[in-house]
Chains A and B, each alone.
Chain A
Amino acid sequence: MLPLASTTEFTLGAELGIALVCGLGFGFALERAGFGSARKLTAVFYFYDMAVVKVMFTAIVTAMVGLFALSAVGVLDLAELYVEPTNYAAQLGGGLLFGAGFIVGGYCPGTAMAALATGRKDGMVFALGMLGGVLAYAELTPGIDVWYKAHATPELTLPALTGIGMGWWALAFVAFLLFAAWGMGALERSFGHWRPQR
């Protein structure tokens, strides 16, 4: 029965080794997608290259369909997967700040790794800024952690909230991805003139 971690006790060395291997695939996929480049990433906000949404959406739908299919055939126990508790205000406010930081800085935390690994100095500086931000949060606003916990709802997924099963949601997301793929192609054609010439 999966996940493996629910039936196997990994040693610390094994856990960190698994992290390295998963990270290898993670970084490889991000760089292949072009996400080591801040200009490729921020292009999504000027509509002339929607690769960020295409890659993220496809990844989410792929994992979602896989998780659902494996649980439907009884190989995977969804209840054993970790779900971060939801705090609407935190996800909304933190998300807005994160989005602002994304377009100002040009990267998100994972893609900054792909950038610095391929020689982008701005990716290295972004990572330094992140370290400063994480340290500042811990030193100046640690109370947010306490507040978050006090106002969080555990295991709040769309199936739990609506009573509609995960399979239907997965189907809806696949359909939406196909529609969005067509829409994004149209957007890229309309805003192609915004693509910088150098």
Chain B
Amino acid sequence: MSTLAEHRTPDRATAAARLPKPFWNPYLAGFLLGLVLLGTYLVTGRGLGATAGFAGVATWLASLMAPAEMQTNVVHAKYWNDGAPLLNWTLFLLIGAIVGAALSGWQGNRFRWSVERGPRVSDGQRLALAFVGGFVAAWGAKIAKGCTSGQALTGGSLLNVGSLVFMLAVFAGAYGFAYFLRKEWL
């Protein structure tokens, strides 16, 4: 039973190497995020986004089920892209973001198959809440024409009034519900 012996006396160097490395100082990470946003503006003339990438996938899914809607539905028509809804700029941004985050997480030993939750809810409850939250957040982002990326960061840096209103509303909505959801997180 050599494996058991290894468990009893773990190699200290290996154990230390597997510990997650600390996150960056938030101001440094914010500065880097700001440079990415600035660079995106300087190249494309538009900033970052996220929700539009999901919209491209949604329109593609809808086209498989109801192709006629691509002309009649104003939302799908916007993302139909002449029959190539998956060649969506923001969707490629999201794919890049997944790769970038995976690289960062791998380098920092932070990859974990896990469910993020407080100790007082079960994994199942947390996953159900994650689905509901994603659904509501996406609906809100569609109404507001953007999310934390497209409105708050991108519009905020250009002092877009709608973006600043959106940002205040997001924090108001989240702080308003925080008390009722403390069991999920604390």
Contacts and interface: CB of A to CB of B under 8 A. Distances in A.
Interface of A: 2-6, 12, 15-16, 18-34, 36-40, 42-43, 45-46, 50-51, 54-64, 66-67, 70, 76, 78, 80-88, 90-123, 125-139, 141-142, 144-146, 148, 156-159, 161, 166, 169, 181, 194, 196, 198
Q: Which 7 A-B pairs have the closest CB atoms?
A: A105-B133, A23-B96, A99-B173, A62-B34, A95-B169, A129-B134, A94-B144
B34 A60 contact: yes
A62 B111 CA distance: 29
Mostly, the B contact residues are helix
Contacts of B133: 100-107, 126, 129
Interface in B135-166: 135-153, 155-166
A189 to B, nearest CB: 16
A26 B36 CA distance: 6
A98 B141 contact: yes
A133 B158 CA distance: 28
Interface size class of B (residues with CB under 8 A): 35 or more
7 contacts: A6-B45, A19-B89, A28-B100, A34-B23, A42-B178, A95-B140, A136-B135
Interface string B91-102: 011111111111
Mostly, the A contact residues are helix
A113 B98 contact: yes
B89 A66 contact: no
Contacts of B143: 90, 93-94, 97, 137, 141, 144, 148
A108 B38 contact: no
Interface string B56-91: 011101100000000001111010000000010110
Interface of B: 23-24, 26-27, 29-48, 50-51, 54-55, 57-59, 61-62, 73-76, 78, 87, 89-90, 92-105, 108, 110-119, 123, 126-127, 129-153, 155-178, 181-182, 184-186
Contacts of B127: 121-122, 125
A157 B166 contact: no
B165 to A, nearest CB: 4
A166 B159 CA distance: 8
A32 B36 CA distance: 13
Contacts of A141: 139, 143
A109 B143 CA distance: 14
A104 B38 contact: no
Given A18-B44, A22-B40, A97-B173, A121 B113 contact: yes
